[in-house]
Amino acid sequence: MRKPWSTGKYSYATNGHILVRVLRRDEIPEREDAPPLYNVSHLFFKEPRTWLPAPVVSPQKPKECELCGGTGSVFYCPECDGEGDLEFENKYSRYTVTCDTCEGSRVVSKVVGAGDDGSKKRCDSCAGLGSRQDHKSVPIGDLYFSDVYLSWIAELPGAEIGLYCLGNPARFRFDGGEGLLMPRCKDDEDRWV
């Protein structure tokens, strides 16, 4: 999803929460593994109930990922499969206990017999980026959006946000392109609505 692609008249990029498209650029190839657009492309034809100027917001700086210490990859604990706890079940009950091997941290410093990088996996906490950016919900009208993505949009020339009802992505448009943005929950949990 992180690689841009072209199809039809447009070139696209998305991370699953925000999608942007510009008129097709020759240097961006078509891709067979491109994310499907059938459930979003019709939204570009729907007129939002209102267009508002994109607000200027300043998100927090990215923080080093605690799980991988900024390296982007980890040895997931072999005992709990990187879950941090273990479940035991019998006929009567189910127990959850903290994993002894990783003490609940989900990762270990080394897997015996795995070689230096043998079973290192991409860190799922930061998607391998080594840093995490906390998103804060910022209200626009009666909806909430990530301050991080709003700061990206605000950098685009002439950016405006178009709102629909709850449950639909918002549209945004700027000189040179347009896009879709998922609303967030009001609270600061990492949840998207």
Q: Report helix, strand or coil for 114.
A: coil
Which residues are CB-contacts of 103 (< 8 A; sequence separation ≥ 6)? none
Member of 30, 64, 79, 155 binding Zn ion (CB under 5 A)? 79
Q: Candidates 96, 98, 101, 119: give the one binding Zn ion (CB under 5 A).
A: 101
By C-beta, is 20 or 68 nearer to Zn ion? 68
Residues 6+ apart with CB under 8 A from 185: 137, 144, 191, 192, 193
Strands (E) across 15-163 are located at: 18-23, 50-53, 63-64, 73-76, 85-89, 94-98, 107-108, 121-122, 131-132, 137-140, 143-146, 160-163
Stretch that binds Zn ion, among 45-53, 116-124, 149-157, 168-176 (CB under 5 A): 116-124
Helix and strand numbers (H, E) in the chain are: 1, 16
The least CB distance from residue 181 to Zn ion, in Å, is 25
68 binding Zn ion? (CB under 5 A): yes
Does position 80 interact with Zn ion (CB under 5 A)? The reply is: yes
**Does residue 99 belong to the site contacting Zn ion (CB under 5 A)?**
yes
Distance CA 166, CA 116 (A): 48
- One residue of 20, 37, 54, 77 binding Zn ion per CB under 5 A: 77
Shortest reach from residue 98's CB to Zn ion, in Å: 8
- Smallest distance, Zn ion to C-beta of residue 133, A: 12
Q: Which of 125, 133, 137, 168 binds Zn ion (CB under 5 A)?
A: 125
- Establish if 73 lies at the interface with Zn ion (CB under 5 A): no
Site residues (CB under 5 A) for Zn ion? Answer: 65, 67-68, 77, 79-80, 99, 101-102, 123, 125-126
